[in-house]
Amino acid sequence: MQKIIILVFLSLLCIKTQAQNSAESKLGTWYMYNGSHKLSDEFALKTMAHFRYYEVASEFQQEIYRLGLNYKLNPTINFTLGYSYVNTDIAYNSLSNYIEDHRIYEDINLNTNLKKIKLKHRFRFEHRFFGNNNTRHWIRYDLNANYPLSAKWSAYAFNEIFLHLDQSKVFAQNWTGAGFIHNLNKSLKLKLGYFQIKTPNIVLKRAQLGILINTDFSKQAI
């Protein structure tokens, strides 16, 4: 299994680009950290840092830092309220000004099972505040499926759609992808995947390289 996954990823990195030098012709890469830190039976901190590139390790596109407080209502439903800082270079392979925006988001998360498949539904309301006093609002729906392959490996697939709440053109983006997760231990996982970003004007290809950290402070002595 490990050899197959390594070969798949190397194949993705070796994809030949088309003749034109455009963002669509490149395989970009997302380097990701995601963390969940349990504070009690009901509350947890959600943390995230992503560094995104138009190419494998060059042509910076975006960095995102996210912090949220999660409340678990029951094993099926939980909520998150959080803040994100985003810094984006909107132009590939050319000089451009970076765009900063600050985001407030609210998540509704639903967990269900379909036999061995774990399904996660996330509804996110996101409010974006830019430096020029411009604001935007959208809703995101993400469906994520995880299927265990062994005690250490699982496969995942996802589809997330972004819809504008304050613009005449409702459709904003659609992300579709799949990959593998390797459990190193109870607290640490590695993530490897591939997905496509579709917007009304462009389709981008991205590899995902991530580290997932879960900690539990709820039983530690104060």
Query: Cα separation of 46 and 35, whole Å?
Result: 6
**Residues β-bridged to residue 189:** 183, 212
What is residue 2's predicted lDDT score, i.e. its pLDDT? Answer: 59
What is residue 118's predicted lDDT score, i.e. its pLDDT? Answer: 97
Write the Ramachandran bin of 5: left for phi over 0, alpha for psi from -120 to 50, otherwise beta.
Answer: alpha
Give the pLDDT means over successive 10-residue stretches in the chain (222 positions).
58 49 88 97 97 92 97 97 95 82 98 96 97 92 98 97 95 98 96 97 96 91 50
What is residue 17's predicted lDDT score, i.e. its pLDDT? Answer: 41
**Rounded to 5 degrees, what are φ and ψ at 133?**
65, 15
Q: Which domains does the chain have, with CATH numbers?
A: 34-216 (2.40.160)
What is residue 9's predicted lDDT score, i.e. its pLDDT? Answer: 56
Query: Cα separation of 148 and 25, whole Å?
Result: 33
pTM of the predicted model, to two decimals? 0.88
